[in-house]
C-alpha cells in the first residue's frame, strides 16, 4: 500500500454516468493517472488520504507534475467523477458487494478504509478478487 509514483492504467466501464472536471491543485503536489484525490480543508486538490476535513473527489484522468515555484491554484488537474472503475483493494470479499468502500491511501480502497476518518469512495458493484473490484464512485462531496 502507499502513494503512487507512476501512472496507473484505468479500466472504466463507459456509459455509466462518468464525467471529468478540472480542479485547482495544491502547490508542489505531483498527481499520477489513476490516483485517488480529495479536496483538503483549504479547498485544494490533494492525494487522497484518511484525513479529517478531506472530501473525496475521484480519480486523476491525466498526470500532472508539480511545477517549481508554483502557488496553490496555479495548476488544474482533470478528475474523473462518478465512474464505474476497477480498483485495487486491500482485502475484500464477495459478501461486501453493495457496501461502500473507503479510502486507504491514494492507491487503495477497502471496506474499513482509514482507521478514523472513513473517507467514502464508492459502492462495490462487483467482486473480482480479494484485491480488486468494480466500484461505482460516489458523487463528489466537496
Q: Does residue 92 fall inside a structural domain?
A: yes
User: Domain span at residue 113?
Assistant: 12-137
- Predicted TM-score (pTM) of the model is 0.86
| Helix, strand, coil fractions of the chain, as percent rounded to 5 | 0, 40, 55
Q: Does residue 142 fall inside a structural domain?
A: no
One digit per residue, the tens of pLDDT, for the chain of length 142 reads: 566 566 767 777 756 667 889 999 999 999 999 999 999 999 999 999 988 889 999 999 999 999 999 999 999 999 998 889 999 999 999 999 999 999 999 999 999 866 678 889 999 999 999 999 999 998 765 4
Distances (CA, A) of 17 to 1, 26, 95: 29, 27, 25
Q: Does residue 3 fall inside a structural domain?
A: no
Contact 96, 124 (CB under 8 A): yes
Helix, strand, or coil (residue 127): strand
Q: How far apart are CA 127 and CA 142, in angstroms?
A: 28
Amino acid at each position: 500500500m502507499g502513494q503512487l509514483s507512476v501512472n496507473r492504467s484505468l479500466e472504466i466501464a463507459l456509459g455509466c454516468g462518468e464525467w471529468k472536471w478540472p480542479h485547482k491543485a495544491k502547490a508542489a503536489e505531483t498527481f499520477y493517472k489513476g490516483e485517488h484525490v480529495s479536496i483538503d480543508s483549504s479547498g485544494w486538490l490533494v492525494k487522497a488520504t484518511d484525513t479529517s476535513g478531506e472530501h473525496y473527489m475521484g480519480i486523476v484522468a491525466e498526470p500532472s507534475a508539480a511545477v517549481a515555484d508554483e502557488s496553490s491554484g496555479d495548476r488544474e488537474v482533470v478528475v474523473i467523477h462518478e465512474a464505474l472503475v476497477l480498483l485495487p483493494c486491500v482485502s475484500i470479499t464477495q459478501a461486501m458487494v453493495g457496501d461502500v468502500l473507503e479510502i486507504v491511501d491514494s492507491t487503495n480502497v477497502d471496506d474499513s478504509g482509514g482507521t478514523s476518518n472513513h473517507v467514502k469512495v464508492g459502492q462495490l458493484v462487483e467482486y473480482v478478487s480479494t484485491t480488486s473490484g468494480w466500484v461505482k464512485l460516489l458523487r463528489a462531496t466537496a
